[in-house]
Amino acid sequence: MPELPEVETVRRGMSPAMVGAKIERADINRPDLRWPFPPKMAERLQGQVVMQLRRRSKYLLADLSSGESLLIHLGMSGRILITGTQVGSFVKEHAAPEKHDHVILQMDNGARITFNDPRRFGAMDLLPTAQEETHFLLRSLGPEPLGNAFHEDYMARALEGRSTPMKSALLDQRIVAGLGNIYVCETLFRAGISPKRKARNVSRKRAGQLVPIIRDVLGEAIEAGGSSLRDFRQADGELGYFQHSFDVYGREGEPCRNAGCDTLIRRIVQSGRSSFFCPKCQR
């Protein structure tokens, strides 16, 4: 499932084509994805100007001139393709319709926004912009890791007294929003913390040190266009490249990249997910 860097990469790709433009036509080609679409979705989208395109955790939010926001979640296999926009000296032509093009937004600037999702684990909804914090997908989310509310004192307090392993704590969207399996593994490696260590056994100092490490990992991934594993593509159809920089994720049996360490990367399963780590460098 795309994590924060992948969703932020898609947001940045969509913004030039959508922000300030009007949705001229909305084609809704099925009644649902993971959940049913909201009533009269096409009618509520058509004629609205996209005022702003934001990201909250792993969700995209397009604020509309109607006072509603279009929420988009890519799910396991969802992707967004933008055509009819200029890239350098060339215009990216509209692609032929595909079987799993479930929602198509035709913008008045000539751009076409296509949501394609073969497995239909993605989601779309319309909600009042002013009440987004009450939406069932958003109301329990913790602070954004790139925002001001996420700081050293907060991180230390959030982990204090928790008996859950560090891997599970950082995956808890109520503690910090947007982190997923890949970037938690990479963060814990850089921090030298074992994914098995209980959160309550991490000192306040080490907990605080996680904050800049998380920001560095996410920032580097965003600049690389995210990680292209399985279905993820950027909005222009290109791959992300951060997977080539992984220190531990997916590297089971390969040597640790830390200088002076020749220990092999191990993989364990925690709560049904693979954790990759160096047993020597991470304590």
Angle (nearest 5°) at CA 159 between 192 and 3: 70
- Active-site residue, 58 included: yes
- Active-site residue, 3 included: yes
Structure tokens at 160: 């204090």
Task: Report residue 258: phi and psi, to 5°.
Answer: -70, 140
* H-helix or E-strand spanning residue 261: none
Cα separations (Å) of 136 from 68, 125, 139, 140, 180?
16, 11, 6, 8, 20
- Active-site residue, 79 included: no
Structure tokens at 227: 């990680």
* H-helix or E-strand spanning residue 73: strand 68-73
Catalytic residue, from 3, 68, 132, 186: name it: 3
Catalytic residue, from 2, 5, 143, 195: name it: 2
Catalytic residue, from 11, 56, 58, 251: name it: 58
- Active-site residue, 273 included: yes
Catalytic residue, from 120, 196, 206, 273: name it: 273
Cα separations (Å) of 264 from 66, 194, 254, 256, 274?
55, 14, 5, 6, 16
* Residues classed as catalytic: 2-3, 58, 273
